[in-house]
Copies of this chain bind each other. A is one copy, B any other.
Amino acid sequence: MPVSRGGNNNGELHEILSLVEERSFGELRRVLVEMNPADIAEQMSEIPDDKSLVVVFRLLPKEQAAEVFSYLESEDQQRIVEGISDKELASIINDMFVDDAVDFTEEMPANIVNRVLSTADPETRRAINQLLKYPDYSAGSLMTTELLRIKSEWTVEAAISYVRSCCRELASITYAFVTDESRHLSGVVSMKDLLGAADDELVSNIMDDDVIYASTTEDQADVAERFKKYDVVSMPVVDGEMRLVGLITIDDVVDVIEDENTEDIYKMAAMAPIEDSYMSTSVFQLAKKRVVWLLVLMISATFTGLIITKFENMLTAVAILTSFIPMLMDTCGNAGSQASVSVIRALVLGEVRFSNILKVIWKEFRVSIIVGICVAIVNFIRIIVCYYIGMYQVDPGQNIYLIAGVVSITLVLAVICAKFVGCTLPLLADKAKLDPALMASPMITTIVDAVSLLVYFGIASLVLL
């Protein structure tokens, strides 16, 4: 029984390539037919030369070809499109689900888009054109127009026999949507409820008229939120006049969720998010996405430098204080970004909101006391040990215990400040309708650096001078 775990088998690629080389096309076709479309796409993306790639693609049975094609990365899709005839292209496009065809079209250069649109059959072309007009990242751009529509006055028997006649062309039959004469969405029946109902029951009696839906112009991230909240596997999409125009299925939403996470992670690391995969984004694009924040943070670090300049005399008097600056800056920066990242993630997951700000501050305050004292104690011991094994020199007239004490008390106070800044800024950003992810580590590091140095020099002047 060839039940498959879908492992990543390197041997398969070698087998495919050597079958191409030997021109054993019959054998190769047999191998391909046994494989899962997603696996075939993965193996194909590793084929280096375009000719072999097109040969393998042409060997796929017609019904498999469109599916494999929709799993390919856009650069591999382009390599194939450039090597096949218009007729072959038309057959793939017409066999793809419309939303996959649109995803593909959006990624292609203009000349290929024109080829796609001129070869597709009129119905497909109309559907693609319609979907292409929705803005990027909108619910409209994510949906497919193929969905199961039934009428409220039908009996369950009639509805089931209708489903049986058309289900093969649909992307999802989990829900059947009930529309009136003017295509307004009036209800939904899950396939489970439809199949479970008696034959002579009317659809209007079993449909649920409380439908969770999306609007074409809505942001896809909001739609993804609603999928998570209501645990649904597909969601109808309506236009401005509440007419049913499409369907979003959860497999597309999973991709949106991953994209949103990538975006957040990039912002937290002080980068503008990239739109493509890392490997297919150009060096220039990557540099552009990164340099802006580096410049902002570099310039803001000037203030930290100025603080050091202001206290130059003290650093000359007690030279060893300089050597603790990196440790203080790093520890407090890390402590602050721990708090900010926790709060940002909790905001994204809907676990906290601005109204919880006092609870969050109180929580972080207690955490920072525990963490700050632990770090301070270890740090005190570390300094004393380092001193006795001769790693630190102290000028005559200065007391290493006093110096270690100053550094450790600074740590406690600066960790408290860092966690406070780290947990409040993202909540304030969210309240001000700014993206909290932008308030993550690097931004907070800069503020926390300045605060911790001021605390450090303040305490040092009091105690040591």
Binding site for B on A (CB under 8 A): 1-6, 34, 36, 38, 42, 71, 160, 163-164, 167-168, 170, 173-174, 184-186, 191-193, 195-196, 209-213, 215, 226-233, 242, 250-251, 253-255, 257-258, 261-262, 264-266, 268-271, 277-279, 283-284, 286-287, 290-291, 293-295, 297-299, 301-302, 304-306, 308-309, 312, 315-316, 319-320, 322-327, 329-331, 333-335, 337-338, 341-343, 345-346, 349, 351-352, 356, 359, 363, 366-367, 370-371, 374-375, 378-379, 382, 386, 391-393, 441-442, 445-446, 449, 453
Is the pair A351, B278 in contact by a Cβ cutoff of 8 Å? yes
Is the pair B210, A192 in contact by a Cβ cutoff of 8 Å? no
Is the pair A382, B299 in contact by a Cβ cutoff of 8 Å? yes
A-B residue pairs in contact (CB < 8 Å), sample of 17:
A1-B184, A1-B209, A2-B210, A6-B230, A167-B195, A228-B254, A232-B251, A250-B254, A262-B349, A265-B268, A269-B341, A271-B338, A278-B343, A278-B346, A279-B356, A308-B322, A322-B322
Is the pair A279, B374 in contact by a Cβ cutoff of 8 Å? no
CA distance A298 to B230 in the complex (A): 44
CA distance A206 to B449 in the complex (A): 66
Copy tally for this chain in the complex stands at 2
Q: Which residues of B contact A370 (CB under 8 A)?
A: 283-284, 287, 291
Is the pair A334, B270 in contact by a Cβ cutoff of 8 Å? yes
CA distance A2 to B207 in the complex (A): 13
Q: Which residues of B contact A184 (CB under 8 A)?
A: 1
Measured between C-beta atoms, what is the minimum distance from A162 to chain B in Å?
Answer: 10
Asked whether A279 and B351 contact (CB < 8 A) given A2-B210, A173-B192, A338-B269, the answer is: yes
Is the pair B341, A2 in contact by a Cβ cutoff of 8 Å? no
Measured between C-beta atoms, what is the minimum distance from A329 to chain B in Å?
Answer: 6
Of chain B, the residue at the smallest CB distance from A184 is B1
With A164-B195, A265-B345, A329-B329 already in contact, 7 other A-B pairs whose C-beta atoms are closer than 8 Å: A2-B210, A42-B229, A264-B265, A269-B338, A269-B441, A287-B366, A308-B322
Is the pair A306, B323 in contact by a Cβ cutoff of 8 Å? yes
- Tell which of A185, A231, A258, A370 has the most Cβ of chain B within 10 Å: A231
Asked whether A442 and B334 contact (CB < 8 A) given A1-B186, A265-B268, A279-B356, the answer is: yes
Measured between C-beta atoms, what is the minimum distance from A172 to chain B in Å?
Answer: 8
Q: Which residues of B contact A316 (CB under 8 A)?
A: 316, 319
Q: Which residues of B contact A371 (CB under 8 A)?
A: 287, 290-291, 294
Is the pair B374, A338 in contact by a Cβ cutoff of 8 Å? no
Is the pair B191, A173 in contact by a Cβ cutoff of 8 Å? yes
CA distance A228 to B254 in the complex (A): 7
CA distance A412 to B185 in the complex (A): 60
CA distance A160 to B349 in the complex (A): 40
Is the pair B231, A266 in contact by a Cβ cutoff of 8 Å? no
Of chain B, the residue at the smallest CB distance from A362 is B283
Is the pair A4, B257 in contact by a Cβ cutoff of 8 Å? no
Q: Which residues of B contact A215 (CB under 8 A)?
A: 5
Is the pair A327, B343 in contact by a Cβ cutoff of 8 Å? no
Listed from nearest, the 6 A-B pairs whose CB atoms lie closest are A269-B341, A278-B346, A305-B323, A301-B327, A304-B326, A287-B370
Asked whether A326 and B327 contact (CB < 8 A) given A6-B229, A265-B265, the answer is: no
Asked whether A342 and B297 contact (CB < 8 A) given A257-B254, A291-B375, A446-B330, the answer is: no
Of chain B, the residue at the smallest CB distance from A228 is B254
Q: Which residues of B contact A36 (CB under 8 A)?
A: 210, 212, 230
CA distance A221 to B328 in the complex (A): 37
CA distance A6 to B222 in the complex (A): 11
Residue in B277, B297, B315, B327 whose beta carbon sits within 8 Å of that of A349 in the complex: B277
CA distance A329 to B36 in the complex (A): 49
CA distance A371 to B271 in the complex (A): 12
Is the pair A334, B251 in contact by a Cβ cutoff of 8 Å? no
CA distance A266 to B265 in the complex (A): 10
Q: Which residues of B contact A299 (CB under 8 A)?
A: 378, 382
CA distance A5 to B316 in the complex (A): 65
Is the pair A286, B3 in contact by a Cβ cutoff of 8 Å? no
Measured between C-beta atoms, what is the minimum distance from A259 to chain B in Å?
Answer: 10
CA distance A251 to B226 in the complex (A): 12
Residue in B167, B185, B382 whose beta carbon sits within 8 Å of that of A3 in the complex: B185
Q: Which residues of B contact A320 (CB under 8 A)?
A: 309
